[in-house]
Amino acid sequence: MATSSGPGRVLAYLESAKNLTGSACGLAGLALTFTGLAGAYWPVVVAGLYGAGALIAPPARPAVPDFPDGSERLEALRTDFATLRAYLGEVDLPPAAAGRLVELTEVLDGLLAPGWVSEVLATDPEGVHALSRAVHQDIPESVDTYLRTRWWTRITPGSEPPERHLERQLELLHREAEALAGGLREAESRRQETHTRYLEDRGGL
């Protein structure tokens, strides 16, 4: 491993800005030598100019990681949302909870549908994160916890009905989704108002 990395490091340095800048300064030192200005100390002059050039050159900078942008994350999230809906279609829920779940998934479906809404959402990292959390964590956890708790309730009756917690959880998630949609709507409204003010200012009205 060491033998393979050694030549690679040497090659990387030869191609680096430090070596190229130092070499250019070293060539300037050789030019001084040929003109007789460096005198008998020309090796020191050349080496010194090379070192100075290597020092002033900007350090090597690693490439910035290429992470998926908002559009790519939403595209992957649409696939995961379809998987989630298939799972929810196999779950037997009480009528009230099932109704709240339908309301929630309708809002999420509207936010994720390809079009200008999702294009606006893609520019909001916090919104994409909140949507991803709902699809990947909150909804599956709420439903699965209900199913597991319901089984225990059947063999140990007398505890609080688990569907109450599920209904409350789905209600809170629905509010979060509506708040996200409302924030996008307000952003578009502000954009419209800004354009109106721009036109008014441009026309001197």
pLDDT digits (tens, 9 = 90+) for 161-188: 889 999 999 999 999 999 999 988 888 8
> Could you give the CA distance from residue 118 to residue 105 in angstroms, rounded to a whole number?
15
Q: What is the pTM of this model?
A: 0.65
Residue 59's alpha-carbon distances to 14, 17, 20, 53, 128, in angstroms, are 13, 7, 12, 12, 36
Q: Do the Cβ atoms of 137 and 201 come closer than 8 Å?
A: no
Q: Which two tokens stand for residue 176?
A: 């979060």
Residue type, 62: P
Query: pLDDT tens digits for 46-100?
Result: 566 666 666 555 666 667 666 667 788 888 999 999 999 999 999 999 999 999 9
Q: Do the Cβ atoms of 108 and 135 come closer than 8 Å?
A: yes
48: closest CA among 73, 70, 25, 68? 25
Q: Which range, of 39-43, 88-92, 119-123, averages the lowest pLDDT?
A: 39-43
144: closest CA among 187, 86, 92, 105? 92
All residues at 6 or more sequence positions from 43 whose CB lies less than 8 Å from its CB, including other chains: none
